Amino acid sequence: MNMLTDFPISLIVLCSGLCLILLGLWGMLTQRNLIRIIIGFSLMDTGIHMVMVSIGYVTGGTAPIINDAVAMNEAVNRVVDPVPSALVLTAIVIGLGVTAVMLSFAVRIHKTRKTLMIDKLTESKW
Amino acid sequence: MIKSLNTEDTLENAGLTDEEQQLFSNARPQAYEPYPIKAVEDFANWARANSLWILAFGTGCGAIELRPLMTARFDASRFGVAGRPTPRQSSVFVIGGYASVKTLKRIIRSYEQMQGPKFIICLGICPVNGGMYFDSYNTVNQFDQYLPVDLYITGCMPRPEVLVAGIMELQKKIKAGECNGANRYVENFDWYKANQKKVIKNWDMPDYNW
Amino acid sequence: MVVTNTIIDVLLQPLGIYVLALGAGFLIPLFYRVRRGSGVLVFFAALAAMAVIAGLNLLAIINGAPAIDIETAGIKPPFSINLRFGLLEGGFVLAVNTVALLGAWHYLPRLKQQAASLLLYLILVMGINGMVMTRDLFNLFIFIEITSIATYALIGMGRSDNVLAAGFKYVMATSIASAFFLLGTIFLYYQTGTLNIDDIIMNRDLIEGPIGLIATLFLLTSLLVELKPYPANGWGLDVYETADSGIASLISVGVSAGVFFALYKLLPLMDNYLTSIALIGGLTFLISNLIGLKQENTKRLLGYSSIGQMGLLTLAVALLKQTDADAHLPLIVGGLFVNHLFAKAGLFWLAGIVNRKCIGEWSSGVKRSEVLLLGVLITALVGLPPFPGFWAKWELVMLLAGNELFGWIALILIGSLLEAAYLFRWFSYARQQDSEQPDDAPAEASFSFMQIMPVTIAALLLFITGYGMAKTMHVASPEVFLPLVAGFAMWLIDRSHGRLKNLPMLAAVAVGGYLLTNDLEGINRLFSYLLVGGGILVSIAAMYRNDNRRGFYPLLTVLLLSLATLLRAQTSLEFFFSWELMTLSSYLLVTLGRNGVKPALTYLLFSLASAYFILAGFSVAYGATGSLLLADLGNSGDSVAIIFSLLAAGFIIKMGGFGVHIWLPGAYAESDDDFTAILSAVVSKAGIFGLFIIAAHLGVRSDIGLDPGYVLGWIGILTATFGALMAVFQEDIKRLVAYSSMGQLGYIVTGMALMSHLGWVSAMYITVNHFLFKGILFLSIAGVILRTNERLMYKMGGLIKNMPFTFTFVMIAIIAMSGVPPLSGYGGKWMLFNALMEKQWYWITAFAFFSSAVAFLYMFRLLQTVFLGQRKLEHAEIREAPMILLLPQMVMIVGIMVISAYPKLLIDPLSAAIDPWIANTLVWQGTALHAHFGHWNAPMIMAVVAGVFMIPLILLSLFALSMKIQKVEQFNIVYAAERPRRPEETHFAYKFFAHYDRAIGFTVRPRATAFWNSVVEWSHSAGASLRIFYNGNGQTYALFVIMYFVGLFLFNGGLAL
Amino acid sequence: MIIEDFDFWLGKAGYFSLTLLIVTFYGLLVGAFIDRTIAKVQGRIGIPYRQPFINILKNFFKRTAISHGVMFYLGPVFRIAGGIGTLAFIPVLYGSEMFSNFSMAGDLFLVIYFMFFGQLGMALGAGESGHPYAAIGIARGLSQMTAYEVPFVLAVISIVIQYDTLSITQIVAAQQGGWQNWTVVTNWVATLAAMLAFLGMMGYSPFDIFLAPQEIPIGPPTEFHSAYLGLMQLNRALFGATKLVLFMNLFFGGATSWPELMIKTLLIYMVAIVVGVAFPRFRVDQGIRFFFKIPTLIGIMSIVYVQMMLVA
């Protein structure tokens, strides 16, 4: 049987990406420790990236390089959409930035408050 | 005429504190002349005689004799007698027997607040010579030392009939124009006042209670 | 040379904004190394340049240039990112950059400590600009993220120790939101194959099925969450509370603005969700304002307010889309946005300058200038004239009315009232210390000058934009703005001392009033004599105080002139504008009183409630007729009854009608004594005028069934009765007269409600009389209070000996008020009763009789306990009231006497003015006025009374000649053979009518007050129970964000899948 | 306007002073009569008929007096001016131009409101006397006034509806032609309410708390004496008679001749007297509550009654 047709790789990536997102959300919502929350966030981020990549994938497609391997006219069907990949790159960078900021917050919170438990950080409410 | 206080003949009201001075008038009472026309004066006296308003102020044991006056048995209202709760409006003051010093002070105040012509009837023997209280420490013996009396009704205690007779007698005197106790009081004001102050130790009133 | 020119041209393109931002971003650290100052210089230069560029391009577009499309990478979209700079974009960008510039000025002390913060600030602003301008979905995401990261970093720089925790919550929530955005973007791309927003919109029909739904919902959720909807906004509130004011302001106005604009851009994709968007916006507006009631922390309060404002914007934009009225977008959304932008930013900065944790702490040591700014900004935020918010709200309400979305109108008005409640409570705190604060020295002003400059500029910008909006709505005629201008002119000389300030004020009001009212005719002209002329007459007395009364004269100018503009209002908009102006100025004047701040707040809230009722009424009328002209009110078909009821309710509240009167005694009693006279004698007539307007246009023109009129009549008479009853039991002289004037107004309402010629004549006649005798009474009382420093009547007494003139005036005024012949009051009563009988309102007639009998009780009490009886020892020396206070009273006494002797002089013009509305039914036989039932010959009555008064007087005097009458002193009284000890115990004044209280006092127990207190209680506890979601835990907030998506999903057909 | 028809005023004034004399004289006489009646009830003989006159003369013949101030001096003047004026606005005899007084100047409302004139002035005078009892008395009197006004006004409204006019002359005219046309017959409910109010108005027991002689020495007039008191006694007679005339006009068909007037008013007066001698005194709040209960109810019923009557 043909793995590629019956069970496209993109579907696997998509599913695992979605799972990762849910996992990350679960982590963000349940873990009390800031570091774990950040980990949850980056899991979610990664999941999103996987989803993006999988969206752009065309089953059995090749790299989007127009040469003799791929003719101009059938490029649209045979070439993997390059845009999502481009987007993912940017998204990764941004995710990195956010993660960095979160970590720096965590560090400074630990400096000042000597705790990393998020449910200790509820002074300002109502 | 509304007469404002003119400074020369005023009373010093020694009995009052400084801040009370402004609250009481310090004017000296003044005698009034009869009306220039004789007829008018007679008519006025007739009216006064036939409308005797007695101050409802029982000053001694005789006060109990005043009450029956208005009842069905004696009905003094036939003679124009009526009780009046405020001295401003009453013209007759019935001294009901002995006058203790404490009461005397109130009697004086009430009498001075009555508007002339005004008359005093002394009921019983005590106001004449002290009667059975002649040596009491706190009753005055001769009432006319302190206020001018127009009529004495002696006895201890005279019954209402006598009181009615006395009232009629008073009416005669008023009609004859012989009841000018108010003026006598004013003319000998200082003498009366001295006597009053002699017995009344805590004199915290103005010298004349307008 | 050419090169530089081209460079400049390039830079002046909108793209220059980014170039400058990034370039400066690289330069700043360099210069910073060299010299800190130079780095700051570059920073400011860049910011300023960004603002200037935006301004220039916007100007070009306004002058007709086409919207600028910027294409990058030399390829046409959709294959490249493109930006657009149109009218709306330009406006947003310009506003945001201006605020950013001012904010940087305010925040400089912190910013310049490190180069990084300068850089971040710049990036943040650039990100916002990008969010506004970009037309590429993914690029939008990038800009959002840039902004967010810069924001995170700047938040992290905050001083307060909770700021880190708050920031972390913020990061959590917004990162989840942006994850949603990213997912939405990619799914959209999956379906449409493009990232260009225009393309996506163009072929939006490709977006279908579950994926399309989820994609759009992801975008929507993330944008909405960034706008902090209730309840998924705890993280935002925490940041507002803890972050530095400079940052908080930028988040509140800048970032929100960007996100809001992004939402607006993507709205074409959201057609199916407009209802839910509007609902979310509305609920957020309502609930956050409700919770704000309970808030004490200054910055968190501002947070609630700005969340509410964003909710209102969302609501507005969604509804505008739904009713596809994009033409109104610039006016409404732009107006609301600019209003929120400047006011909120200014408030945040002010909060930062004053730096008090709780609003309660503002009551000490806040400088006068700061309080002034606070007032201006809060006024703008609440949407009172002349600020943009006012016009925008009006336009919005009218638009909604045009589409008959009255539910939304109600929601908006209630929310605004709640917002006004807590914002003005804050202002009241700040106002309190102002009174005992000495007139501020110039030194203090100079040293805080640099600090408050940005706030001041924001306030000025608000004024300017407000005027601009007025211009675009064609109401910026000089007449309408004359009150403000004159008031400003008076404010310039406000620092000068002494009573002479009154003269220019009088001159200004006289001239302005003449200009405004000289071309009026009919009933408006009569009212103009009463309001303007009467106002001037009464305010002459204000000269009796020689202290420099900061703010009094400017506000009084505004008040009196706004009354004039009220009279000449042709459209409901002008009317409402003047009305709000009057409300505002009178509120501020009340706060000037000794301890008038608290009652003033009640007064303001009730006045605003009344104003909103009026607004609602006008909106319904507009919905029915499509015209703003007051004259067209009558043509509004079958909705006349509801319009009449709404407007009448508004005016009744303003006049202190039965049940909504509780603001009245406080406001009257606690404001300055001479201003109370103006308030009662003059200002209260504005409500009557309004009532007349609606009675004339609605009651008569389109003769509705009498039911609203009959109800109005009952309200009026109950007001009269209970006003009189409550006046009987007062100990405070000013409260007594306040209740009495409440009662008098009740008669007038009843007269108006009669809708008959005689009824209206009587109402107007009583109005004139009420002006005369209430003016006299309050001015006399002002004199008495001036001399005795007492307001409790039982502490006075026997003052007739010291103040004979005042006593005489009060006596005449009271006889006139009581309606005892021969003075003028009788005429009013007579006409009223005749009109009532003709109308067969017998029960109301009986009530009117009873209340006028009850009135005797308090009137006599006023004379007895103040002027008669026993004089206190300490009052032995006091003098007659000052001449300047007596002068106006004399004039009014003359007026009373003339009217009493020849009422024809007054009744003829009144009847003539009413004739066009209702045909004249008065029959004159010589000097006698004949009605259907009775007749009334005033001059003859006057003559007879004079005659019969002479007989006994002569008799008594004759007998007095024959007596020795001794003038005696106050203690020479029969006292049961005792002597009085002290005047205090001899003067029978305290609880004067205790027996009456025992008999029927149970009818006047303060039920209305209790009711309104419970209303306050309930709204507070509602707010308290609505804010339990904000438990301060970041994870809960994150959960809310996710729940929000789920909720939207289920609400919008997720169940169908 | 006063100048142009001077003779009209002269004539009116002349006739009115005649009315004034008659009514005052009659009022004093009735006072004595009532006093004697009460005396008979108590088994006494009572005062001579001349007594009221003598009392007044005596007071005018007083030779000393005090004054607490201008209002104190003017108080009694206001009081009796109120009495005279009220009489001046009431047509005394029906159909006689001579005794119609100045009723063309105003209607029933005018009379009702002008009654307050004297009370207000008197209250001010008594107030300046500085006597607490005076103030207490006035406070009570005014409160009671507000209470008995209610049934009275309801009755008045009722008869105004009935006769469709406010002019007293026309109200009387409508009752001419036999007793069956009197208001007391045609609108007995209103009359009942008005007569209950009348009790309060006359100030006899049980509604005489405001000049309770023993408790607060006759209340408002406590400080008044001499000629002041004389004026007030005159007014008490005059004003009492005036009120009687008013009630006679409104409810008992008016009068066409003096004898008729005197008989009718005397009978009306007797109502107050009979109640007065039979009942003890109400406390003031009891009095107020009394008027707000039954009499007010009757008054309300009277309006309903008259409306039903007109419908029928």
The DSSP annotation for C603-647 comes to HHHHHHHHHHHHHHHHHHHHHHHS--BGGGGGG-GGGHHHHHHHH
Closest CA–CA distance from residue B26 to any residue of chain C (Å): 8
Interface partners of chain C (CB pairs < 8 Å, 3 or more) are A, B, D
Give the best residue of C872, C972, C987 to mutate against chain B (max B CB count within 10 A).
Answer: C972
Residue span of the structural domain in which C643 resides: 592-905+973-1005
Contact call for residues A83 and A56 (beta carbons, < 8 A): yes
Residue of chain C minimizing CA distance to D108: C934
Contacts of A37 (CB under 8 A, 6+ apart): A27, A28, A31, A102, A118, C172, C1034, C1035
Taking residues B20-47, report their average pLDDT.
92
pLDDT of residue A5: 54
- Which chain C residues touch A37 with a CB distance below 8 Å? 172, 1034-1035
Query: SS3 for C1023?
Result: helix
Q: Is the CB of A118 inside 8 Å of chain C's CB atoms?
A: yes
Interface partners of chain A (CB pairs < 8 Å, 3 or more) are C
- Taking chain C (1057 residues) in runs of 10, the rounded mean pLDDT of each run is 69 83 86 85 90 91 85 70 88 93 90 87 93 92 93 86 89 93 91 88 85 90 92 90 91 92 92 91 94 92 94 94 87 92 94 89 86 93 92 93 92 95 93 58 55 91 92 83 92 85 92 91 91 93 87 93 92 93 94 88 94 94 88 81 90 90 92 92 92 83 64 93 94 94 94 91 94 94 94 92 94 92 92 93 94 92 92 92 94 95 92 89 88 91 92 90 89 90 91 91 88 92 90 90 91 73
Q: Where are the domains of chain A?
A: 3-120
Specify which residues B151 forms β-bridges with: B121
Closest CA–CA distance from residue C975 to any residue of chain B (Å): 9
Class of domain B52-199: alpha beta
Q: How many domains does chain C have?
A: 1
In this predicted structure, the answer to whether residue D13 has a pLDDT above a threshold of 80 is: yes
pLDDT of residue C1: 53
Q: C296: number of CA atoms within 13 Å, CB side?
A: 7
Q: Which two tokens stand for residue C257?
A: 């603005």
Query: SS3 for D19?
Result: helix
pLDDT tens string D66-96: 999 999 999 999 999 999 999 999 999 998 8
C-alpha closest to that of C748 among C665, C692, C815, C820: C692
Q: Which two tokens stand for residue D186?
A: 């045609």
C-alpha closest to that of D33 among D256, D237, D252: D237
Residue type for position C917: W
Distance CA C54, CA C807 (A): 69
In a domain, residue C103? The reply is no
Residue written as token pair 């000490």: C364
Query: What ipTM did this prediction achieve?
Result: 0.91
Q: Which two tokens stand for residue C446?
A: 């100079």
Closest CA–CA distance from residue C655 to any residue of chain D (Å): 26
Q: Is the CB of B78 inside 8 Å of chain D's CB atoms?
A: yes
pLDDT of residue C77: 66
pLDDT of residue A7: 63
Phi, psi angle pair for D250, to nearest 5°: -75, -40
Q: Where are the domains of chain B?
A: 52-199
- Which chain B residues touch D47 with a CB distance below 8 Å? 77-78, 80
Contacts of D159 (CB under 8 A, 6+ apart): D171, D183, D187, D190, D250, D251, D306
Taking residues D218-246, report their average pLDDT.
91
Closest CA–CA distance from residue D293 to any residue of chain C (Å): 12
Q: At what angle do helices C87-111 and C335-354 cross, to 10 degrees?
A: 0
Which residue in the set C149, C172, C241 is minimally distant from A124, CB to CB?
C241
The DSSP annotation for C384-397 comes to -TTSHHHHHHHHHH
In this predicted structure, the answer to whether residue D1 has a pLDDT above a threshold of 70 is: no
pLDDT of residue A3: 47
Q: Is the CB of B67 inside 8 Å of chain D's CB atoms?
A: no
Q: Which two tokens stand for residue C629?
A: 């002209």
pLDDT of residue C390: 94
Q: Would you call C846 and D157 a contact, using CB atoms and an 8 Å cutoff?
A: yes
Contact call for residues C630 and C607 (beta carbons, < 8 A): no
When the pLDDT of each residue in chain D is averaged and rounded to a whole number, the result is: 90
Which residue in the set B3, B35, B86 is minimally distant from C964, CB to CB?
B3
Rg of the Cα atoms in chain D: 19
Q: Would you call D66 and C857 a contact, using CB atoms and an 8 Å cutoff?
A: no
Contact call for residues C585 and C559 (beta carbons, < 8 A): yes
Phi, psi angle pair for B179, to nearest 5°: -95, 90
Dihedral-angle region of residue C120 (phi above 0 means left; psi in -120 to 50 means alpha; beta otherwise): alpha
pLDDT of residue B97: 87
The DSSP annotation for C755-772 comes to -SHHHHHHHHHHHHHHHH
Which residue in the set B24, B27, B107 is minimally distant from C971, CB to CB?
B24
Q: Would you call D73 and B2 a contact, using CB atoms and an 8 Å cutoff?
A: yes
The vertex-B131 CA angle with B129 and B134, nearest 5°, equals 75
Which residue in the set D77, D217, D292 is minimally distant from C1000, CB to CB?
D292
Distance CA C430, CA C358 (A): 11
Spell out the alpha helix ranges (H) of C473-497: 478-492
Taking residues D142-148, report their average pLDDT.
91
Dihedral-angle region of residue C764 (phi above 0 means left; psi in -120 to 50 means alpha; beta otherwise): alpha
Class of domain A3-120: mainly alpha
Q: Would you call C972 and B22 a contact, using CB atoms and an 8 Å cutoff?
A: no
SS3 string, C876-894, reads CCCCCCCHHHHHHHHHHHH
In a domain, residue C774? The reply is yes
Contact call for residues D48 and D219 (beta carbons, < 8 A): no
Q: Which pTM does this prediction carry?
A: 0.92
In this predicted structure, the answer to whether residue B1 has a pLDDT above a threshold of 60 is: no
In a domain, residue C94? The reply is no
- Which chain C residues touch D230 with a CB distance below 8 Å? 959
